[in-house]
Amino acid sequence: MYALIRPFLELCWLRSGPQHLPTSTLLMELTLTAHALAAFLLSLAYLAPARALAAGLAETALLAVFVTIVLYLPGHLPRYRQTLTALAGTGAMLSLLAIPVTHWLHTAKAAADPTGAPALLLLGLVGWSLAITAHILRHALNCVFTRGLVLAVVFSWLSIIIMNQLFPLAS
């Protein structure tokens, strides 16, 4: 099991790039499934189960569309499987880490707890996620880290807007 997870840990630690992953359709499908499942579990903090499932699937579809566009435009589409596998796998891992923090934040808000620890932890995870995405895109596109970071921020911003339109939170 560790042999399957280790390449994604290396990506999360910014020690390797997506090119170190096998070009495997099966691995891509497994990571996309893990990504959708993790996004579903994370969405359960704020959405009913059926809507959370739809949100998890939509978030994973957005990732696949984003990778297609970002790699197609500069002519790097042959790197699609490895890049999508890397982003889905690391995204699933970070979502799993964010689940307890998100539930802690949700519980703290409900209890009117003044401590900002869960919000700071969640902000740290978001920053780490942006750095990982930028790192993966930098390798996939053969560009500087800054360009990868700009693309990561644009994707996150668009993803938030689209997901909020599709699955608005009750006030």
Q: Tell how far CA 151 is from the center of its chain.
A: 13
CA 78 – CA 171 distance, rounded (Å): 44
138 CB contacts (<8 Å, ≥6 apart)?
17, 144, 145, 147, 148
Nearest to 22 by CA among 3, 38, 39, 36: 3
What integer pLDDT is reported at residue 26 of this predicted model?
A: 97
Residue 139: CB atoms within 10 A of its CB come to 21
Q: What is the pTM of this model?
A: 0.94
Burial class (CB in 10 A: 0-12, 13-18, 19+), 46: middle
Least confident of 19-33, 66-80, 113-127: 113-127
Tokens of 158: 């668009």
Residue 167: CB atoms within 10 A of its CB come to 16
pLDDT band for position 103 (50/70/90)? confident
CA 158 – CA 99 distance, rounded (Å): 22
Q: Is pLDDT of 67 > 80?
A: yes
Q: Is pLDDT of 109 > 90?
A: no
Q: Tell how far CA 92 is from the center of its chain.
A: 6
Q: Is pLDDT of 163 > 90?
A: yes
Q: Is residue 157 within 8 Å of residue 62, measured between CB atoms?
A: no
What integer pLDDT is reported at residue 54 of this predicted model?
A: 98
Q: Is pLDDT of 171 > 60?
A: no
Q: Where are the beta strands (DSSP E) in 60-153?
A: none
Q: Is pLDDT of 110 > 70?
A: no
Q: Is pLDDT of 139 > 70?
A: yes
CA 136 – CA 150 distance, rounded (Å): 13
What integer pLDDT is reported at residue 169 of this predicted model?
A: 80
Average pLDDT over all residues of the chain = 94
